[in-house]
Amino acid sequence: MNIMIVEDDYVIAKDLQSIAEAAGHRSVGPLQTMEQALAYAATADIALVDLKLADGPTGASLGRKLIDRFRLEVIYVTGRPEGVGAGLDGASEVVMKPFSEEQIAAAIARAALRRATRYDRIR
């Protein structure tokens, strides 16, 4: 699977990228803004999205677009508990920061299974 990393903190983005690649996936990004993410969305299957990006609190809006327009599985990765629940419907899940490698790898595995199952039914 191609995993899009949308995170404006370089260290966290590189951690997410390493976890995705260690699990056998290819990474798209890291990307820091909604505009960048939308430009690469067609190349991804799953997106790891922070709620606050370099262009502001655009993560929830971005996630909705990725789900609706591109049919991506979206996993929000956030340290902002106040944003959880508000406008995050349709997401595969929400992982709170600080996260463990196991939490992210498991969330990606569940999203990959959902995506594969969804597309198996369409064929």
Distance (Å, whole) CA 91 – CA 89: 6
Distance (Å, whole) CA 45 – CA 4: 8
- Tens-place pLDDT, residues 46-71: 999 999 999 999 999 999 999 999 99
- Tens-place pLDDT, residues 67-98: 999 999 999 999 876 655 556 888 999 999 99
- Could you please state the CATH topology (level 3) that the domain comprising 2-122 is classified under: Rossmann fold (3.40.50)
**How deeply is 38 buried, as exposed, middle or buried, from its count of CB atoms within 10 A (0-12, 13-18, 19+)?**
middle
Record the pTM. Answer: 0.92
Is the Cβ–Cβ distance between 91 and 76 less than 8 Å?
Answer: yes
Percent helix, strand, coil in the chain, to 5, is 50, 20, 30
Lookup: tokens for 20: 């995705």
Taking the domains of the chain in order of start, what are their residue ranges?
A: 2-122
Nearest partner of 9 among 38, 32, 28, judged by Cα: 32
In the chain, % of residues over pLDDT 90: 85
Residue range 26-40: mean pLDDT, rounded: 97
Average pLDDT, the chain: 92
In the chain, % of residues over pLDDT 70: 90
From residue 117, alpha-carbon distances to 87, 105, 121 in Å are: 25, 18, 6
Q: Is the pLDDT of residue 123 over 60?
A: no
